[in-house]
Structure 1
Amino acid sequence: MSVGLNNASIAQKPKILLTGGTGFVGRPLLESLVTAGYPFVNVTRRDSALVLPGVQTCVIPTLSGDNNWSASLQGVEVVIHSAGRAHIMNETHSNPLQAFREVNVDATLNLARQAAEAGVKRFIFLSSIKVNGEETDKNRAFKPSDAPAPLDDYGVSKLEAEQALMALAKQTEMNVVIIRPVLVYGPDVKANFEKMLATVDKGLPLPFRTINNRRSLVFIDNLIDLIHVCIHHPKASNRIFLVSDGEDLSIGQILEKLALAMNKKSRIFSFPQPLLGLVASMVGKKEFFQRLCGSLQVDISDTRKLLGWAPPVSIDEAFAITTRSYQKKQSGSSHG
């Protein structure tokens, strides 16, 4: 795990409370905090979760607006809140917005209020680029100053949580840092990125060479490095930060780079985009096609300037790490 060298110069590290320490982002973040020597409280949903020597563990089975955090917050100076109800592709809840609000808004604000009362100095909230929206025009990237335009219940709940936290910051001495990541990838990535890895690994031909979109991505280590910087940086106070790898790629470029990292022959070929969209609609994959071939770019110039931060891991190195992990896992499962 690559963590910013900025942290090595901190003479006295603040005690941190981390939620979501078993998640895709939370687990490597937890391990990086241990490596960096931070004293912290790890909040988990069950007793059997990851236990680390010298790390205080607090079990909160369900996040809600009624959780009592008093025992967990003793001596804590910084809260990193990465837990929440994630974006769900096949929603089954009868009232999805209510379900998202209960966890992402009510539970978050409850924790933040108690944190402020307990004397916590900084609350770092992992939000989502979905607060900005789902798609950008090519060569027009989202900025943190843009008017929010969430299009789904998950994005709405994250926006409402952000607004409630910023309002709380104005009423208390606790400051708030909001980070809106784009699609996060790395070892053990799931969902659409894992599907792309599987498709490239199988050597299947893909008709995306002429798709001229632009996507911002963020490697897990780059996101964690930014979180480490936000723990202590004075200019992070009461700010919203967008984060990416700093290099936007088309879907064809992503697939070609993955093939190169896997030492596979690129099987990307050209196909008219309108016709490809028509085929996707005919087979019921219109939404998937739009997510894959639409543009979503973020402008991280504010993050760079305010924090003096740059992504420490290049996208080529990040793809190499991710593909090696995927292939190792596939090799292990095939011999299991």
Structure 2
Amino acid sequence: MKILITGVHGFVGSNLVKALSTEHTIYGLDIVSPTKEGIRNTFSWDYLDVEGGIPDVDAIIHLAGKAHDTKNQTVSDVYFKVNTGLTQKIFDYFLAHDSIKKFVFFSTAKAAADKVDGVLTEDIVPAPVGPYGESKIAAERYILDTLETWNLKPETPTKQVYILRPCMIHGPGNKGNLNLLYGVVKKGIPWPLGAFENRRTFTSIDNLSFVINGLLAKDVPTGIYNMGDDEALSTNELIEEICKSLGKKAHIWKLPKGLMNRVAKIGGALHLPLNSERLRKLTENYISSNAKIKAALGVEKMPVDAREGLKVTLDSFK
């Protein structure tokens, strides 16, 4: 297939290129255009407005977006301009070209729920909190509403559209809270948040690549799909995996939760690495079900175990 990937030079895009380029022709759409193995050519967003500016492709994978800013320094308008506006632009392009049969939009679990009681499934009524999740759900709604209108037109070509809601994606080239956690443990600093009992769903880039390959190759129904590994892990288990990777003994302290909440508030005021937002992300329960996507692909489990995937990521940090 010929595939156009937006945000192709980012963390997820770079990993998808490695996974897909051996069997497919990859074109990129991005704000930067370095030469990279596996990418035939990278175009700027302006090329969407040029007739014949971008070669004919069979599928679009839309990754480009403004990531969640845990320091809360990004103004709301930026999220909507990028996450919603660019999605509208690329989805309109998709519908306008009959040759493009598949569209994969990377939304986020945070578009469905900021916090999860129990297990997150696709039938939840979305209730995002903050401009990151709100801009992503606005993009989802634009896709679904526009697609519904499209399907009502007579004799329109069949198109398949997939909205993915991944939990935290990790893999080689990962940037974010996992890197911060790794750096803390590597320095031999004891983990002070052991009193917070939680479980979280993570998404290995290898499992994500497996799903993308499946969506491209199989006749999967249009729809919204959660994305995550099969097993949910606690942050304490994550610390233990980091220590294994480093060959260190885990030092997990169970300091009072109230004390650590106060420390995080002070950290936010002083712009330190640990703030209230990061504390919440590191210690909250957030379990997401991947049953729907596995059923759609006809598999019983993801190919990569959650701990196996983490080991690959952690080893890449070395």
- TM-score bracket, shorter-length normalisation: 0.7 to 0.9
Q: Identify the residue that residue 107 of structure 2 maps to in structure 1.
A: 127
SS in 2 for 1:125: strand
CA contact (8 A) 2:4 2:28 kept: yes
Quick check: 1:103 aligned with 2:82?
yes
RMSD: 2.1
CA 208–90 in structure 1, closer or farther in 2 if over 3 Å, else same: closer
| 1:198 match: secondary structure | helix
Q: Say whether 1:29 aligns with 2:8.
A: no
Q: How many residues of Structure 1 are paired with residues of Structure 2 in the alignment?
A: 303
- Cross-structure match for 1:136: 116
Aligned match of 2:306: 315
Q: TM-score, normalised by structure 1?
A: 0.83
Tell me the equivalent position of 2:58: 77
C-alpha contact 1:69 1:114 (8 A) present in aligned 2: no
- Taking the aligned partners of 2:77 and 2:196, their CA distance within structure 1 comes to 37
Q: The residue matched to 1:25 in structure 2 has which SS?
A: helix
The verdict on how the C-alpha distance between 1:279 and 1:126 changes in structure 2, with shifts beyond 3 A counting, is same
Residue in 1 aligned with 2:155? Answer: none
1:46 maps to 32
The match for 1:301 is 291
| Alignment match of 2:145 (pick from 151, 164, 167) | 167
CA distance in 2 between counterparts of 1:90 and 1:134 reads 16
Q: Which runs of 5+ in 2 are unaligned?
A: 151-157, 269-274
Partner amino acid for 1:16?
I
Q: Which one is further off, 16-25 or 182-191?
A: 182-191
Greater displacement, 111-120 / 168-177: 168-177
The structure-2 alpha-carbon separation of the partners of 1:71 and 1:41, relative to structure 1 and needing over 3 Å to count, comes to: farther
The SS at the match of 2:67 is coil
Contact 1:218 1:243 in 2 (8 A): yes
Deviation by residue 1:69-88 (Cα, 9 ceiling, x = unmatched): 64355431211111122222
- Residue 202 (structure 1) aligned to one of 187, 195, 200: 187
Kindly indicate whether the alpha-carbon contact (under 8 Å) linking 2:70 and 2:277 is maintained by their aligned counterparts in 1.
no
Q: 1:146-166: CA deviations, max 9, x gaps?
A: 011110111111111111111
Secondary structure at the residue paired with 2:252?
Answer: coil
- Unmatched segments (≥5 aa) in structure 1: 1-13, 328-336
Say if 1:41 and 1:72, in contact at 8 Å, map to a contact too.
Answer: no
Q: Per-residue deviation at 1:194?
A: 0.2
Q: Structure 1, residues 291-319: CA drift from partner, whole Å, max 9, x if none? A: 21111110111112122243211122222
Verify the 8 A CA contact 2:17 2:26 in the aligned structure 1. Answer: no
Does the 8 Å CA contact 1:162/1:178 hold for their aligned counterparts?
yes
Q: Secondary structure at the match of 2:120?
A: coil
2:126 is the counterpart of 1:148: yes
Superposition TM-score, scaled by structure 2 size: 0.87
Q: What is the CA–CA distance in structure 1 between the aligned matches of 2:225 and 2:32, rounded to whole Å? A: 31
> CA distance change for structure 1 residues 88 and 69 in 2, over 3 Å: closer, same or farther?
farther
